[in-house]
Structure 1
């Protein structure tokens, strides 16, 4: 059975800022998973339909507990039929939640305002999606009475601390974690186990991917070694070459109160606006990124991503806020942005520090209204106009120079009479 749910859950619904759960509640190995499953009536497992989540689903079902597989759609275009086929094979219930609106409003919009780039290089993505997924998971587990929440991140994935951190910060009192933190099972072993269970379609290891409406990112496989890697062109979707190639065109993006609201004068909901820009800007091959990201203990892994909408929205927002905010406020905001990004990437989304940083940034958004125009061409988006509603910039320097000179020169340089007499007397006495 497959159940589709369209939910929008405000963060106030959950116990954000609650004390962290004790480590003894953490699932960290396959043995932990089997032990918890054997003593829990109902387990919620995050399910993508990939090898890791399918193998974990098999382990849970084999332990005899009731299992609900949760898929949160953040705009990556899930194949519900494939997911249903796998969960039905194991007799588990599949629950699909449309989380696109929540992701756009509660994660992407704040990220635009925080100009959220990792080390200033590329737009962050999974740091934004994991807290939203965790929030849906906790809310669903509470609603269904689940005793545990299982995910399938491993030690080479930053998703591990981001999901664990968010679930704990939301105050979930059950067991939670991943069986792959302390148990390393080869891909071949998982494939063979699933083949023996009647699912023969999983393949040998390749490039891993993660996608949502904001970004498509890739790692592992041919991307493992930063010193020598190659990126198959087939990975790309939004920025894939099209035939015939588009000719240059004009693009305008309108912001009201720090929120992108319209493309070329057409007002669009945020989710649709982002999707439109991914297609429109990506068609010119704009928005590809490559960079290293650190793991929890400091090791670095290479990631490649495409994010055309993020590229133009982050840049356009920066141009507009530079046009309307005082220079000192902008300098302090730069510090706050990096603090905001740090808390997000370290898995501390639902903490007072990130919330406080977000409030600082939120204070600045009321002034950010206007339009930024681009000229799109192959491989580049050139800014051709910045029009703020309440600008601090000059539009006619020559006229301004004349006006300001006239204002500042309209004064008389003189001393009061008494001061002049006193000065004359002083000079006479000195002589």
Structure 2
């Protein structure tokens, strides 16, 4: 299998004389727009692939940039695929980085890679490009997924070894007729599951500040807050109902981001490691992810045997580790996912919360196949009565179950 990694703009020069068709992941941001300019300058036939995972990008803005550089814009709505292939498995796997915050790009990059590979094969493109650099974990996640999907051809990011100052890219794009890009600020990576921020004022973990304007779901509201009472219903591990209203997962997640976000639930800050071990700071908001995983765990503890849950915790760690290290389509994550999915069949019921500023208090669990007690006093009396009817006698290495006689020696 021929798999060749592209790492610099010099590699684009080498490819220019040997291939014409290139597909590149396109967000409309500075890096992806600058890459379109460099590809156009080299005479490539470019497909700019914009994959919608719920980031609410303006299609008109994307079209303006691609038209400017003569690229063909292809927009793909992959929100449902993202939910089915990444989000629902993440809920079941309790997918948090080191148990702290919900993972996000680890879930989205495999979907982006899969869409890119499918379109590259359909269009006959020999090159798949993206814009991740060495300070972004997306580099190994996108490259890893493309390789694991079996794409035969060049793939990678010219920014891996071709780091350019942001101001230089802004100046060159302005000279090419696109003057609207701004000086360096916080980088935003958004999808329907999580909004993630890095760089700019977040660069230094020892002294960082987070502009309040970054937040959307958890931003303060000037309207009447929603009801603090919240219920979430699951069927075989899938969220299907919110507050008594039957909703598809896509609509449920959007509404939960709005309702839980109004209480400021789901803000996180923390470090994440790069491929060689260095750490970078990331800030994120993920209200729906926070409550769906919390509700799932409560319902799981109500329906699954304790030893099964302990075994599942180990599989969750393997699942998350493989996802964040860019091995989404590898055998270990898929095997862990199969184990975790098998445990979800019993996870059906409803979890009730009361929301308050920054937190959700558990108010009730109602499972369809519960293992919990609802009346401990009655249970203790029933069990005592049942167990008092027999006792175990050990004699000559054999065990006999005898009727219980009051006052008999134990």
Q: Report the TM range for the smaller structure's normalisation.
A: over 0.9
Partner of 1:38: 17
Aligned pair 1:100/2:79, yes or no? yes
**1:198-213 to 2 correspondence within 5 Å?**
198-213=177-192
Correspondence list, 1:314-393, <5 A: 314-393=293-372
**CA RMSD, Structure 1 to Structure 2 (Å):** 1.4
Aligned twin of 2:116: 137
Q: Secondary structure at the match of 1:149?
A: strand
CA distances 1:153-200 after superposition (whole Å, capped 9, x unpaired): 000000000000000000000110000111111111111111111111
**Shift >4 Å, 4+ stretches:** 412-416
**Structure 1: which 5+ residue stretches go unaligned?**
1-18, 420-431
Measured after TM superposition, the shift of residue 96 of structure 1 is 0.5
Structure 2 distance, partners of 1:57, 1:243, is: 41
In structure 2, what is the Cα distance between the partners aligned to 1:111 and 1:303? 19
2:239 maps to 1:260: yes
3-state SS, counterpart of residue 17 of structure 2: helix
1:8 alignment counterpart: none
For normalisation by structure 1, the TM-score amounts to: 0.90
Gap change, CA 1:413 and 1:43, over 3 Å in 2 = closer
Structure 2 unaligned residues grouped into runs of 5+: 399-410
1:243 aligns with 2:228: no
Deviation of the 1:267 alpha carbon: 1.1
Cα deviation per residue 1:340-378 (whole Å; 9 max; x = unaligned)?
000000000011111111111011010000000111122
Aligned position for 2:248: 269
Check conservation: 2:226, 2:259, Cα contact below 8 A. Answer: no
- Which of 197, 202, 219 is the aligned partner of 2:198? 219
Q: Does 1:74 align with 2:53?
A: yes
| Cα separation, 1, equivalents of 2:186 and 2:267 | 17
2:287 match: 308
Secondary structure of 1:39's partner?
A: coil
Task: Give the corresponding residue for 2:130.
Answer: 151
Once residues 343 and 87 of structure 1 are traced to their aligned partners in structure 2, the CA distance between those partners, rounded to angstroms, is 35
Q: Is the 8 A contact 2:253 2:288 kept in 1?
A: yes
Deviations 1:303-333 (A, max 9, x none): 0000000000000000001111111110010
Matched, 1:126 2:105: yes
Q: TM-score, normalised by structure 2?
A: 0.94
Work out the number of aligned pairs and report it.
Answer: 396
Deviation of 1:414 after TM superposition, in Å, equals 7.2
2:226–2:262 CA contact under 8 A, matched in 1: no
Residue 38 of structure 1 contacts residue 65 of structure 1 at CA under 8 Å; is this kept in 2? no
Q: Secondary structure at the match of 1:366?
A: helix
1:50 aligns with 2:29: yes
